[in-house]
Amino acid sequence: MDFHLPQWITVPNSVTLFTLAIVVTCAVFFAIIKRINFIQRVNKIPGMFGGFTFLGNATAFLVTPEGCVQPQFLFIRISIFSFIELFIRVMGYVYIMRSCGPVLRIWAGPFPNILLFTPEAFEVVLSNNTLIDKSREYGFLHPWLNTGLLTSTGSKWFNRRKLLTPTFHFKILGDFVQVFNEQSQILIEKINAAVETQKDGFDIYPFITRCTLDIICESAMGCKIEAQSHSDGEYPQAVHSMCRILNVRASQPMMQSNLLFHLSSYGAEQRKNLKILHGFTDKVIQSRKLERKQNSLQKNVIDVGTNQDDNFIPAKKRLAFLDLLIDASNDGILLTDADIREEVDTFMFEGHDTSTAAISWSLLLIGSHPHVQELVCEELDRVFGNSDRHATINDLNELKYLECCIKEALRLYPSVPIMGRQLSQDTIIHGYTVPANTTVLLFTYILHRDSKHFPDPELFQPGRFFEENSRGRHPYVYVPFSAGPRNCIGQKFAIMEEKVILSTILRNFHVKALDQRENIVLLNEVVLRPRDGIRLCLTSKKYKQ
């Protein structure tokens, strides 16, 4: 039987196919060689061997709870295994293995992760103006935030950072203090109602969550969503739902596949949420622009009118972050409505959960240490006396010890316990060359427990942050807001907000923590939060005006 090639395979075509096969074979060969070389370079760094399998080192952490190392310093109890607890197991691994060296390596599937936990390593990465790319996990935020300040890189990030920095000037931040005070007073009303019905104590976390959401929405967009009064509102529900979905994506390997995620119920829920969130922000932007245009026309009429009352002074409208962005776009800087939306949405996301966590952890720690609470209250009495007036900028500057308490709470429970960066170039860290395109994970949670700089690191000691006790401390050993060129642009806003809320609560209530720290299960769900909330018993104080 004769074998005949198809008619389309002529001699020229045969040569073409043969050439193509050679090219493909060579490309695959060189890709394999490049991959092997990359793995060999990464594996020179101490850690678990891996990189040649799809799962990498993941199976090493998928063990029964009884087999998991649980160092006492983590203050964690693991009950039922979930992928969320993978974070805890990695933390335990780093704690046990850090004696092997200041740089460790694990493989998350085919992706290498270099684990860093020393101030020297943090300085190498965070102080470098070229190492500003966030790790691939930040891509989960793109559907909501697009490429705003948090997720952008390169020239776009540099230009946006330069544009937005003046909007966080101290004088501008002072205008937001009134928002902090007004929403804090609503919080007190809600807590008072809860105290009346739950005298034995309750979870404070959802109360703080709704308060910070109200604050950030009014500060960012200049509108009230009244989450504290209407927690079932469409926008607050969408924000909470999106944060929960982001937690799922970050913690469940299957959901990190875009295809599987979009086919899942979580994908459908996210699309529904994004329609609400983006629709709301777009509506606010257009409404704010129209309002400003009408006010401008009204001002022109007043200016040129001949019969206007000379004593007429238009009421000053409180500016929001959105107004500052609109002003920038009107000053010749090219910012589309989409650009404005992604920055407003970024501000909403970054300023919501992080502040909630910081305030809640502060209340837990202050409520667990009566002598600390007594010192805080003495400071509040010195500043406010028996008055129940709102806090001012000058008052906040006087609350030195309260600020030390906040800083110490952020040391023990940093809102972002792990930061991820994707290296854009080969980088030498502690003598090891970490190849480009490698993810480095900066373990803030462990860095803040460096006993060399923080003796008895598990103890809550606000005095660590007295000026005289902070001298000589490595500048990168305490980084709750990151550090270097890509540090948190809103950290002053956050500290001011936290001071107002905490001072308002502690002026009105005596706080007692109902749970011991060692019994609280920690979850790293975008921010570090307690799995079961923060249970407090609050006793009302009666101030005379």
Residue list, annotated binding site for heme: 488
User: What's the rounded Cα separation, in Å, for the pair 65 and 223?
Assistant: 47
Q: How far is CA 251 from CA 111, 160, 190, 247, 523, in A?
A: 16, 30, 33, 6, 10
Q: How far is CA 350 from CA 5, 145, 253, in A?
A: 64, 10, 24
Is 263 exposed, middle or buried, given 0-12, 13-18 or 19+ CB atoms closer than 10 A?
A: exposed
Specify whether the CB–CB gap between 362 and 409 falls below 8 A. yes
Chain centre distance of CA 436: 25
Closest Cα to residue 321, out of 292, 287, 344?
344
User: What's the rounded Cα separation, in Å, for the pair 464 and 358?
Assistant: 18
| Residue found under tokens 């007594």 | 374
Q: Which two tokens stand for residue 369?
A: 């240490």
* Rg for the chain, CA atoms, rounded: 27
Q: Can you say which residues are annotated as belonging to the binding site? A: 488
Closest Cα to residue 440, out of 160, 144, 102, 157?
102
Closest Cα to residue 419, out of 435, 433, 434, 439?
439
Reduced to 3 states, what is the DSSP secondary structure of residue 108?
A: strand
Find the DSSP H helices in 165-252: 170-173, 177-197, 205-221, 234-251
CA dihedral sign of residues 421, 426, 427, 430 = positive
CA dihedral sign of residues 350, 160, 482, 139 = positive
User: What's the rounded Cα separation, in Å, for the pair 245 and 135?
Assistant: 18
